[in-house]
Amino acid sequence: MSFNAYQPLDHEIAIPFRGVSVRREQVLDLMARSGFFVYLVFIFFGTERPFDVSLQDQVVPTSNILNQSLSLLFLLSFISLWGKLRQVVDVVGQEKFLALFLGWVVVSMAWSDYPVVTLKRSVAVLGESIICLAFLLRARWSSDALRYLWIVAGVYIVLTVASVIIYPQGAIQWEFPAWSGLAPTKNNLGQISLFSIVILMSVVAYNRGRIQNALHYVLLVLSIVALVGARSTTSFLVCAFLLIVGLLVRLGALSGSRKVAVVYTTIVTVTGVTLALFVFIFTPDFLAALFGVFGKDMTFTGRVDLWEAVLAMTLDRMWQGWGFGAFWVMDGPHLTRLFQQFIWIPNQAHQGYLDVYNQTGLIGFVLLLGMIAGYFRGVARVRTRQVWFWLVIAILVFNLQESLFFRPRHIGHFLFLFSYLALHTDALREGGLKTPRAGPAYPHHEAPPPVES
């Protein structure tokens, strides 16, 4: 029996499975979608009060009732997987690398200096994976999530622009000056604005009526305004990179071959990220000088020195790392020495690839690279159009300057996790990734014919 046989026939009614009633399937479907939507609201808006400068660049959210209540969403989504064990096994069997990474971070408790912190962060990432997987297995296609994402992103952008107008003393970082809006910092707002642009660009192409189309375009314009207002150099550079990649995809599309477009894009993205990583690790001063023309100082606001220091502190734990989430614990004695050199008290390496290596060692870093390579390989093989492809590219580039990978309750991390799992659930509905699919790509609102086993 194919993977399709387990999926709902439409958005409202699920077929009975082994005696499970339609009513129960409808309840479980509602639980999965509700858990996903509510969690989206939390990761966009956060669980702390806005306009609080003490929360800037916070890596590990503080304990409060809202943070603790998010665990209920993990449980809700886990329950909604009732009757989906076969599909979960199929997804894990196909993707492998995320499952191995999650297993590795749990094992890292054994050598972590702060095993409780490692356990909490491991459970948080596992819970977020469950929320994504529950929604994807209950939805018809991964693109069903667009309706939730554009609504949440749109409301966030509108409130952000409104906050700048109504409460500028709290919504603007006057030392730059730059907008921060509802986000802790201007860089956070830049990231969210760019993600919102990508999401809204994915929905404006489809005719859904004049009023809704007009609303989409208004929100898109406001997202661009928020991106410009944030004045985040990193976000501007990522946006420019996306435009270049988009041009290559367009050239591939003009050639009449979707595969050519995907290959071009994959080569450019992988080559660019690989070269940038090489320069960051071995000759960071050269890249700092190159980017100085874009408004960054010669050390990326002190980041180059920080990368060198963090890398040096990881060399004696290069295979296993410090333990997941165990390095950036603010009362750690190893950080006391680090803070003597960096008086601005960093709480992340501001380099996602380095933070993964620092926390999970070379083994965890290789598993991350396996996820990335597997994603691009899968995109070239599936027929279902992956609207999340652009989010993945943006996040990969963002991580050259910010730490977004595997940061619980961070929008960048959650979108990367969802995009990765979305590819594999869509692929399984087509019959798997073992062989490339022939024929044209399917738009996200159409479904390919079932694949019989």
Mean pLDDT (whole number) for 215-244: 92
Mean pLDDT (whole number) for 405-421: 95
Residue 137 has pLDDT above 80, yes or no: yes
Mean pLDDT (whole number) for 164-180: 91
Interval 275-302: pLDDT, tens: 666 655 555 555 555 555 445 554 556 6
User: How far apart (Å, rounded) are the C-alpha atoms in residues 316 and 320?
Assistant: 10
Q: Which helix (H) or strand (E) holds 385?
A: none
Q: What 3-state class would DSSP assign to 178?
A: strand
Residue 438 has pLDDT above 50, yes or no: no
Q: What is Dmax (Cα atoms) for the chain?
A: 65
Predicted pLDDT of residue 202: 87
User: How far apart (Å, rounded) are the C-alpha atoms in residues 318 and 304?
Assistant: 20
Question: By C-alpha distance, which of 318, 148, 324, 164 is closest to 229?
Answer: 164
Separation in Å, CA 54 to CA 61, 154, 169, 184, 289: 12, 26, 15, 8, 31
Residue 284 identity (one-letter amino acid): P
310 phi, psi to nearest 5 deg:
-65, -40
Interval 374-394: pLDDT, tens: 999 888 888 777 789 999 999
Separation in Å, CA 287 to CA 135, 309, 394: 41, 17, 19
Lowest mean pLDDT among 308-322, 323-337, 401-415, 434-448: 434-448
Residue 224 has pLDDT above 50, yes or no: yes
Q: What 3-state class would DSSP assign to 284?
A: helix
Query: With bands split at pLDDT 50, 70 and 90, how would you rate the model's confidence at 74?
Result: very high
Mean pLDDT (whole number) for 125-132: 96
17 phi, psi to nearest 5 deg:
-140, 115
Mean pLDDT (whole number) for 191-218: 86
pTM, 2 dp: 0.83
Please provide the distance, in angstroms rounded to a whole number, between the alpha carbons at the two ends of the chain.
6
Mean pLDDT (whole number) for 263-269: 64
Share of the chain above pLDDT 90, in %: 52
Residue 332 tokens, joined: 């750690």
**Residue 200 exposed, middle or buried by CB count within 10 Å (0-12, 13-18, 19+):** buried
Predicted pLDDT of residue 381: 82
Lowest mean pLDDT among 27-36, 113-122, 253-262: 253-262
Q: At what angle do helices 146-166 and 210-230 cross, to 10 degrees?
A: 50
Interval 57-70: pLDDT, tens: 444 445 567 777 78
Interval 232-255: pLDDT, tens: 989 999 998 898 888 777 776 555
